[in-house]
Amino acid sequence: MTTARMWRTPGVVLFSGALALSLSLGIRHAFGLFLQPMSVDLGWGREAFALAIATQNLIWGLAQPFAGRLADRHGAGWIVLSGALLYVTGLYLMSLAATEWSLLISAGLLIGVGLSGTTFPVVFGVISRVVAPEKRSWAMGVSMSIGSLGQFLLLPGSNVMIAELGWSHALLVLAGLSVLMLPLSAALMEPGQGAKHSAMPLRAVLAEAVTHRGFWLLSFGFFVCGFQVIFISTHLPAFLVDQGLALSSGATVLALIGLFNIAGSFLAGFWGGHFPKPLLLSGIYAARLIVIALFIGFPVTTWSACAFGVAMGLLWLSTVPLTNGVVATLFGVENLSMLGGIVFLFHQMGAFLGGWLGGYLYDLAGNYDRVWMIAIALSVIAGLLNLPIRERSVPRLVRAGA
C-alpha cells in the first residue's frame, strides 16, 4: 500500500468530503440573503435575481451527470478541484455584478458548474466506494449532517457581513472561504479509478437505469424536493419581510433550517440502514405538506417562522442520503456519481422552477400565495411516487461492478 493510499483512510475521506459539502452548500444556501439588497441597490425586480439563481440550479443539474461520470471514471478529487476553482471565480465575479447578464454568467453559469463538482453526487460517490456497504446510508447521513453545519454557520455570518460590509464585499469574503475546498480535494483523489471502471460501458449502465421504473419514480420525486428547497431558501427572507418581520429574521430561520438539518440528515441516514428508504421518503414529503400548510395557514410571526425553520430543517436535505442510498442499492456504487447525478438533474429542474416561478409570480401578483399552494400539491405527488419503489439490486450491473 502506498503512502498516499495509507493516509486516505475512509475516515479522512468522509471528513474531507463532509467539509467540502459544508463550504459548498453553506455558501450556496446564503444566496437568498442577497436577493433584496442586490435588487434594491441595482434597481432590479425580484425576478432578475430569481432567474440567475434558477439558472444556477438548472446548469448545476445539467452538468451533474457529466461531472459524476468523470468522477466515477477518473476519481472524485480532480472534479472537486475543478469545481472549486469555478466556484471561487463565480463568487468573485458575482461580487462585481452590475448588470443582469453579468449576474447570470457569474451566479448562474460559473457557480452552477462549480456546484456540480463540489456537492453530494460526487462526494457521495467517493465516500460510498470506501465504506462498507452496510455503512453507506449512515456515512451519507453523517456527511450531509456536517454539510448542514456550513449552512448554520454561514447564514448568520453572511447576514452580518452584508449589514457591515455590503453585499459586494460579503461575496468577496465568501469567495475567500470557498478557496478552502481546494486542499480538501486532495483527500478525495482516487488513484486508478479509470482502469477500474473501464469494464462498464456507459451505454449498458444507462440502459439499465432508464428502463427501471424505480429510477424514474425516484427522479420525479426528487424534482419536488428541488422545487421546495430552492423556493424556500431563495424567497423566504423576502417573504418574511413582506409579512412585517425584520430583515434579520430570514437569516435566523434559514440558519435554524441548517442547524436542525444536521439532525434530520443524520437520522435519515441512520434509519435508511434499518427501514425501507422509499417509505421514509414518502413520509418526509407528507411531513413537508403538513409543515408548509400550518406555516401559511396562520399569521406569520417571529415564533411561527422559527418553528417553521426547526420543522423544515428536520426534513430539509434528509431526502438526499435516502435518495442516493436507493440508487446505490439498485445499481451499485461504481457509477453512483453519474446515476445519482441524473436523479439530481430532476431535482435541479424542480429547483429552477421553484426559484424562477417564485420571483415571476411575486412580480405578477405581489405575493407568494400561489407558489406555496404549488409546493403543497407537489408534496402529495412526491409522497405517492416513492411508495411503489422497491429496493432490489439490478443483477447485471451489480455483477459488472463487482
What confidence tens digit (pLDDT) does each residue in 263-305 have?
Answer: 888 888 888 778 888 999 999 999 999 999 999 999 999 999 9
The confidence score (pLDDT) of residue 139 equals 85
The confidence score (pLDDT) of residue 76 equals 84
**CA 381 from centre of chain:** 20
Contacts with 124 (C-beta within 8 Å, 6 or more apart), sequence order: 17, 140, 143, 321, 324, 336, 337, 340
Cα–Cα distances (Å) from 166 to 68, 101, 153, in that order, read 36, 21, 19
The confidence score (pLDDT) of residue 2 equals 53
pLDDT at 329 > cutoff 80 = yes
- Provide the whole-model pTM: 0.78
The dotted CATH code for 9-189+198-401 is 1.20.1250.20
The confidence score (pLDDT) of residue 395 equals 67
Asked if 343 and 175 touch (Cβ cutoff 8 Å), the reply is no
pLDDT at 137 > cutoff 80 = no
The confidence score (pLDDT) of residue 5 equals 59
Domain ranges of the chain: 9-189+198-401
The confidence score (pLDDT) of residue 86 equals 96
The confidence score (pLDDT) of residue 384 equals 94
Percentage, residues of the chain above pLDDT 70: 94
99-102: long-range contacts, CB 8 A cutoff, minimum separation 24: 100/44, 100/48, 100/51, 100/52
Answer with the residue of higher pLDDT: 329 or 114. 114
The confidence score (pLDDT) of residue 400 equals 45
Q: What average pLDDT is seen over the chain?
A: 85
Percentage, residues of the chain above pLDDT 90: 34
pLDDT at 348 > cutoff 60 = yes
What confidence tens digit (pLDDT) does each residue in 216-258 have?
Answer: 999 999 999 999 998 998 888 888 988 888 878 887 888 888 8
Answer with the residue of higher pLDDT: 2 or 178. 178
Q: Which range among 69-78, 178-187, 243-252, 358-367 has the greatest average pLDDT?
A: 178-187
What confidence tens digit (pLDDT) does each residue in 87-112 have?
Answer: 999 999 999 988 889 999 999 999 99
Answer with the residue of higher pLDDT: 85 or 54. 85
**How far apart, in whole angstroms, are the C-alpha atoms of residue 68 and residue 65?**
5
pLDDT at 85 > cutoff 90 = yes
